Amino acid sequence: THDIEEAIFMASRVVVFTRRPGRIKSEVPVDLPHPRPYTIKTSPEFMDIKARLTEEIRAESMAAAEH
């Protein structure tokens, strides 16, 4: 998926890729309990993972824009 929240909610890890040629930039573990209630999306742990992934993707987007 390209949806950060969906990836965190469903996965045990999220992989962020670089711009072309699309190599793995980072693997972020999602250490949240299963099953995950929908309300977990407002927890501090969820928000921390979302912020980390958002920054990883933002940095990669900025690097791609420079080339």
Q: Give the model's pLDDT for residue 67.
A: 76
Phi, psi for 17 (deg, rounded to 5) = -100, 155
- Cβ proximity of 35 and 9 under 8 Å: no
pLDDT digits (tens, 9 = 90+) for 14-47: 999 998 888 999 999 999 999 999 999 999 999 9
Phi, psi for 26 (deg, rounded to 5) = -160, 155
The answer for 22, left when phi > 0, alpha when psi is -120 to 50, beta otherwise, is left
pTM for this prediction: 0.90
- Assigned token pair, 60: 């990669």
